[in-house]
Amino acid sequence: MKVTAVLAGIMIAAAPLAAQGFGVICTTDVPYATGFSNSHKLAAPSELDTALTLVFQSSEAIHYCIGVCDFTGIEWEEPVTLYPGQNPAIACGTDGDRHIVWQFPDTSSGTWEVYYRNLEYRMMPVNVSTTNGQSMHPDVRADDIAHVVWEEWSYDPPRILYRTCDENGLIGDPVLVSDDDTTVACGFPSIEKYGGRLCVLWQACDSASYAPYSIRRRWCDGGVWMPVETLAMGPRVLRHPSLDIGSQGEVFAGAWEDSSSFYLEAHFEGGNPGGGVHTSGRSTWPVYSNLGHIWSYLFWEEDEFNEQDILRQTYYFGWGSVRSLRQEHSIDQNLHCPSALRDIGVWTAGDSAPCVLMWEVFGLPIGVAEEPRLRTGGTCVVAPNPGRGPVTFRFADAGRRNSVEAVDAAGRTVWRWSGTAERVRWESPAAGVYFARVRDGDRRETVELVRY
């Protein structure tokens, strides 16, 4: 195992940090430990949960590491080595189970297969791809089961396949998600759910001449696959797409590399449009992190100044300035392969062993930024959420004094209630994203509310 939990080979200034928290997770021996951006590397049971899991890779195996958020940032446990392989991805299901997929080496054939496991069960890893060719770059999305996509080389040229799997090892029939076109090579799929529909995003190009390049998307609604859509097409490189981790009420948000302007740029589609900047360097591996329609972080790897950096841009009722993570934290190493979940970013620093996995809590740019970290297991039931019109709060400790304070995205209080009733109804919330600070007897929590 080539993963350690010590800081090595990197200089970090002791100057005060602008962000909420920043530090080191562990070291590994590859500069792409947190790559590649088509797959999700961070997962949490809910968007405001304080516990999260990171998956990453070394040259020998895949690993996971648990982190717990508090007021000062994230405390990371020792990394756990799982299996030989590469390119892991993770997602949390509706019940909080953690689902992982990865490329596993088939020593008998010399090829890669895509394997799946539910980390909460004592189950053997399941071969999801079950093909005789290379199965690469998987990604996973989960609800009550896992939804897996990958790049499949048993076709010529490679295609995108989809399959389901559950904790009992039962796999569904494979679905050819990409076009059944023998002239188009497809790769780097990403999968997520928006508005109750599964979405798969991938790159494609002419298998003989490469051009034209394209970024393609396909939706699945209630088990029915819609026609393939082309989001971008051109004679120059379009590649390495990724999808934001969807949450309640969010719309499609994706990113990819686009060289239609002769420079390789980070392009961001959907979500809060208009972010990103044009640079004279190569902008690669973009990722998108959204919370509703009012808060976003963009990340991408950038070599504009003859060094590998990660740039970050924030949206909060308008796009802010672009920040350099190397400059912000005085890091004297090249930075690679960003990944993100809500206000948390991870990346790899260094070009050769020992490389360092780093994290930062960037902080929600709203008045309730720290409140989500106060969740202590309250039992108040909030429904419907997401939904339209009135919302009802039902308390477990009826008869004791309970309270609700709803704030909007700017931290302004828009509704309050306190009393001893078993339930209370907020009659007229406008469409938008709110945070409800709930006190249920001795317990308290913050609930994200989405009204359409």
Q: Are 23 and 364 in contact (CB under 8 A)?
A: no
* pLDDT for 367 beyond 70: no
SS3 168: coil
pLDDT at 72: 64
- pLDDT bucket at 250, cuts 50 / 70 / 90: confident
Q: Which residues pair with 192 in a beta bridge?
A: 199
pLDDT in tens, 224-234: 999 999 999 99
| CATH 2.60.40.10 given to domain 371-451 | yes
- Band the pLDDT of 10: cuts 50, 70, 90: very low
Q: Are 37 and 49 contacting, i.e. CB atoms less than 8 angstroms apart?
A: no
Q: Residue 241 pLDDT > 70, yes or no?
A: yes
Residues 40-63 have a mean pLDDT of 91
pLDDT in tens, 161-194: 999 999 899 999 999 999 888 899 999 999 999 9
- What lies within 8 Å, CB to CB, of 251 at 6+ separation is 194, 195, 270, 271, 293
Q: What are the two backbone dihedrals, phi and then psi, of residue 373, each rounded to the nearest 5 degrees?
A: -80, 5
Q: Which residues lie below 8 Å from residue 108, measured CB to CB, with a gap of 6+?
A: none
CA–CA gap between residue 436 and residue 280 (Å, rounded)? 44
Could you tell me which residues are beta bridge partners of residue 146?
A: 142, 165
Looking at the chain, which residues constitute the CATH 2.60.40.10 domain(s)?
371-451
Q: Which residue intervals of the chain bear CATH 2.120.10?
A: 21-361
Exposed (0-12), middle (13-18) or buried (19+): which is 369, by Cβ within 10 Å? middle
Query: Of 276, 285, 325, 329, which Cα lies nearest the Cα of 305?
Result: 325
Query: pLDDT tier at 7 (50, 70, 90 boundaries)?
Result: very low
Q: What is the pLDDT of residue 371?
A: 37
Q: Is 108 helix (H, G, I), strand (E, B) or coil?
A: coil
Rounded distance, CA 450 to CA 293, Å?
11
Which pLDDT does position 450 carry in this prediction? Answer: 79
pTM across the whole model: 0.79
Using alpha carbons, list the distances in angstroms from residue 83 to 44, 56, 59, 125, 445.
Answer: 22, 11, 12, 9, 37
Task: Give pLDDT tens digits for 198-219.
Answer: 999 999 999 889 899 999 999 9
* pLDDT computed for residue 249 by the predictor: 64
- Give the integer Cα–Cα distance in Å for 328 and 19: 9
> Across residues 341-360, what is the average pLDDT?
95
Fold entry, domain 21-361 = Neuraminidase (2.120.10)
pLDDT per residue as tens digits for the range 386-439: 777 889 898 887 778 889 999 887 678 899 999 888 889 999 888 888 888 888
What percent of the chain lies above the pLDDT cut of 70?
90
Q: pLDDT at position 20, please?
A: 64
Mean pLDDT in the chain?
87
User: What would the DSSP string read from start to end of 326-369?
Assistant: HHHHT--S-EEEEEEETTEEEEEE-SSSSEEEEEEE---SSTTS
What does the pLDDT look like over 316-342, one tens digit per residue? 778 888 999 999 999 999 999 999 998
| pLDDT of amino acid 12 | 35
Cβ neighbours for 103, distance < 8 A, ≥ 6 positions apart = 85, 86, 87, 112, 113, 114, 115, 135, 136, 137, 138
Per the listing, tokens 């039962």 go with 170
If DSSP codes are grouped into helix, strand and coil, which group holds residue 286? strand
Give the tokens for residue 217: 């998307």
